[in-house]
Amino acid sequence: MSPTVKPLSVMPFIILGLFGLYTLELGVVGILPLIVARYNVSIAQAGLLMSLFAFIVAISGPFLVLLSSRRDRKKILVGALFCFSACSVLSAYAPSYSALMALRILPALLHPVFFSAAFAAAVSLYPKERATHATTTAFIGTTLGLVFGVPLTTLTADLVSYEAAILCCAATTLLAGLGLLIQLPRQTKARPMSFASQLAILRRLSVWLAIAATVLVFTTKFAVYSYAAELLRDRMGLDAKTISMMLLLFGVGGVTGNLISGRLLLRWPVATVAALPVLLACSYVTLYALEGANLLSLSVIVFFWGAIHTSGMVITQTWLTRAAPEAHEFATSLYVSFANAGIAIGAWLGGVAIERYGVSGIIACGLGFAALSLVAILLKAWRYGGAAERAVYA
């Protein structure tokens, strides 16, 4: 920790940067119908904008984080944010679907590098004993991006324009980059871990079981969530403004879910992780059964769905990184990589399912992967036991 730098002068810009990153990645979920109409593509093709992004993150993440692990984090963070901003500006005026797709490649490559560096920079601002607090604080940006990025993109596009929705993301990442350029001290490392030491965590079965659970949980979540706007329009008959309000409510539920899940993880780690896919499945079944329901009933289940969906991120990240605490940055990159693999698989399979079977297809897909997620979680819990998990969460 630098004695001359106050964390509160830097953390807002780390939070804002993470918010902008996840809005860039996931904001397309809320404007899929507009992309379909603008570029004359199918809903499944539009969904590839997210699944391709996630796939690139998945295959490049750990490798790029290892390569950048000896670089000054400040340069990485600022450079990545300026790149996100420039690509967003160009995306707002992309002349074709293929150009829009191409403009998402560079941000996808920089996503895991920025994510890992952001959390490491946050931890460096605090004393060692407050590392958990630093991580939790940085997670505010991730949470806000996940839960509000999509509805805010939808609302801006509806109230202003498609271009304005994307340019808002550009402005957010530009502001975060300027803030870190001015406020963040240099982030060089005195004794970085060797590549071999970091890669050694891949020899642990516990790490691979946590990775499997992460992929399956994210597939469960994004097979349905990737097509949330289409689900609410087709199944519930909602208009664009009502859909944006429902997605905002989903976001409020997400913030609430993260606050609750963090406390539950400390007391009942295994039970909290195991409950995640079960509760996701319950929310999907209830949501599908609510066709024609009044807005109050729908609002309750959307809030609940948002709480469970978003809490899955902090739950699975903690589940994985606690399996390799000595290589936190590399473990975080593994988490980002495999979580995005789950996003890519979920978005792709959800696209196939909704094209062939309609919204019932994505619900069935979500339920199937929820069952597989539960198996992976229980297998790790059975192999290593609840006592060990309680020890690392304490």
Contacts of 394 (CB under 8 A, 6+ apart): 266
Mean pLDDT of the region 252-266:
81
Name the token pair of 111.
């996503």
Q: What is the C-alpha end-to-end distance of the chain, expressed in Å? A: 23
- Where do runs of H (alpha helix) occur along 93-161? 97-102, 105-124, 131-159
CATH superfamily of 7-393: MFS general substrate transporter like domains (1.20.1250.20)
Distance CA 285, CA 345 (A): 21
Quick: pLDDT tens for 56-81: 888 888 888 888 877 788 999 999 99
Name the token pair of 46.
């539009």
Mean pLDDT of the region 381-394:
58
Give pLDDT, residue 247: 81
Quick: pLDDT tens for 284-314: 999 888 776 778 888 999 999 999 998 888 7
Q: What is the phi/psi pair of residue 198, to 5°?
A: -70, -40
pLDDT at 100 over 70: yes
Q: Who wins on pLDDT, 199 or 168?
A: 168
Task: Give the distance from CA 369 to its chain's centroid.
Answer: 18
Q: Evaluate whether 153 touches 92 at the Cβ level (below 8 Å).
A: no
* Closest by Cα among 54, 122, 114 to 84: 114
Q: What is the pTM of this model?
A: 0.76
- Where do runs of H (alpha helix) occur along the chain? 7-26, 32-39, 43-68, 73-92, 97-102, 105-124, 131-159, 162-183, 195-199, 205-225, 228-234, 240-267, 269-289, 295-321, 328-357, 359-393
Give pLDDT, residue 226: 83
Q: Work out the number of other CB atoms within 10 angstroms of the CB of residue 279.
A: 18
Give pLDDT, residue 241: 78
Helical axes 131-159 vs 295-321, angle rounded to 10°? 140
Amino acid at 289: A
Contacts of 296 (CB under 8 A, 6+ apart): none
Name the token pair of 37.
């109409």
CA distances from 15 to 96, 138, 200, 315, 384 (A): 32, 6, 31, 19, 34
Query: DSSP secondary structure string, 237-292?
Result: ---HHHHHHHHHHHHHHHHHHHHHHHHHHHH-HHHHHHHHHHHHHHHHHHHHHTTT
pLDDT at 390 over 70: no
Secondary structure element (H or E) that encloses residue 236, with its range: none
Quick: pLDDT tens for 24-59: 988 887 788 899 999 999 887 888 888 788 888 888
Name the token pair of 107.
């941000």
The SS3 assignment for 30 reads: helix
pLDDT at 394 over 70: no
Mean pLDDT of the region 355-378:
92
Which region among 65-79, 154-168, 365-379 has the lowest average model confidence (pLDDT)? Answer: 65-79
CA distances from 123 to 11, 105, 137, 205, 366 (A): 10, 29, 10, 27, 35
